Structure 1
Amino acid sequence: GTAVAAAVTVPMTGALGGRWQSGLAVWAVLAGIAVLPWLPLVRERVPAPVPVPGAEAGPRLRIARSRTAWALAVFFGLQATAAYITMGWMPQIFRDAGVPAGTAGVLLAVTMVMGVPLAFVIPRVASRLPHQGPIVLVLGACGLAGYAGLYLAPAAGAWAWAVLLGVANCAFPLALTMVGMRARTGPGVAQLSAFAQSTGYLLSIPGPLLVGVLYQRSGGWGVPIALMAALMLPQMAVGFLAGRDRIVEDEAH
């Protein structure tokens, strides 16, 4: 979905008269259509579940006491930061380097679509390894190479940088896979997921805004790209720690 939107918005805007409002309005219409199938479900009344004696959940984990949970939360937040910066600013980096708007949109689509095949491969590989840290390092290395390319030759190697950053963004399915692997029980997975994602998304909020401020203040992309690369280093470090064979229930009780 994100790849299609990135690739066709610019030519579709041109076909609709060149107003960017019209190009974006198409996706608003689709969002409205997507709501319609849910309306019958909203109208249904689902009875409250009847408590079953002896089926109560176990004690709630003190998840904040788990170092693995914190490592996974920070990893989740940093990979989300990188993804949002890429989705929000990469096309503008290419545009400022002289790449046409339509091509910049297709390059973003390439970055997004890389996650489709790798989202099937990475979880399978990760689940067979006792330590997912090596995968974290490989994805991080792809991100660093992509940022280096954006800094040194953004237009000349644009397609390669788009592919590399697309591979780096696959830290997202890896993070979700590790959430399922770092807890022993269903309730433990649910609590770890809630902690890692809520904390992680909060951590990701400043990233795209900070990149915009740095771009505006410095007048170029050198400083923002340096920030992106710098953030990749702690992402690799905490991801390596989160990938260790640890169980949050053992740490949090």
Structure 2
Amino acid sequence: MLKAAEIGPVLITGCSSGVGRAAAAAFRAAGFETFATARDPLALEQLRALGCATLTLDVTDEDARRAAVEAVERQFGAVGVLVNNAGYGQYGPIEEITLDEMRRQFETNVFGGMRLSQLVLPGMRRAGKGRIVNVSSVAGRVSVMGGGAYHAAKFATEAIADALRPEVEPFGIDVVNVLPGPIATHFEATLLKTIPKTGDDSPYALFKENLARGMRAFLARGGFGVMTADHVANAVLKAATVARPRTRYNVGFIAKFGPVGRALAPDRLVDAVSRLVIPNKGS
């Protein structure tokens, strides 16, 4: 493991709860100068008490993105590790998700992290070192019905990382993705609120009821393969501090074996099983 002094300061997005909060606490406990960010600064009081520096940051706001990076660079010269964690899950049938909702999903989950990466890279190049850790998801490797918007954003995160990594490697910079399976956090509550409410006469009414029920069970604490935020935060810390990181860290049973099973199974079989798990009218 590299030491905090060798790596430099850590900037983490989406620290109001869940993995972001747990990661900020883990980095601070390991001795890192840790900048925890969120849209609501009041949500960061607990991390401030632990010794984290806190910044207000909406990852979709260019002025806020620039201000956050500049705040770190004024004090330390360059960001040592950027942890792109901020995000949420837009769920529901593709037909009923508006383009504005899809744009918000990509602005937060894809473009926010991509732009922050662009902003920290000049400082990292000058320092001759740096690491970008993206909290991605098994959803970036396996796409299932009801989660098309979220999966599309996570697939994009994976594709961007694969292109960026060899581009910046000559400058001493690495890009690592952490892909968790299901996590018991507030993610579920936010996810359920995104399912479009289009009335009882929607052709997807039954599907959306079953989708909500299925996601509650999938993300329930104590469920099969469901992890804690701390479990994932430890993987993020490892991805940021090992001397020779893997390009990806699949965290948990489902993240490790789900993509393998999906790659081996025919598409039509996966479709049929999905319709059994989340039934719709006419299924």
Is this a same-fold pair by TM over 0.5? no
TM-score normalised per structure 2: 0.30
Larger relative contact order (Cα-Cα within 8 Å, sequence gap ≥ 6):
1
Which protein shows a greater Rg? 1
Relative to total residues, which structure has the larger helix share, 1 or 2?
Answer: 1
What TM-score, normalized to structure 1? Answer: 0.32
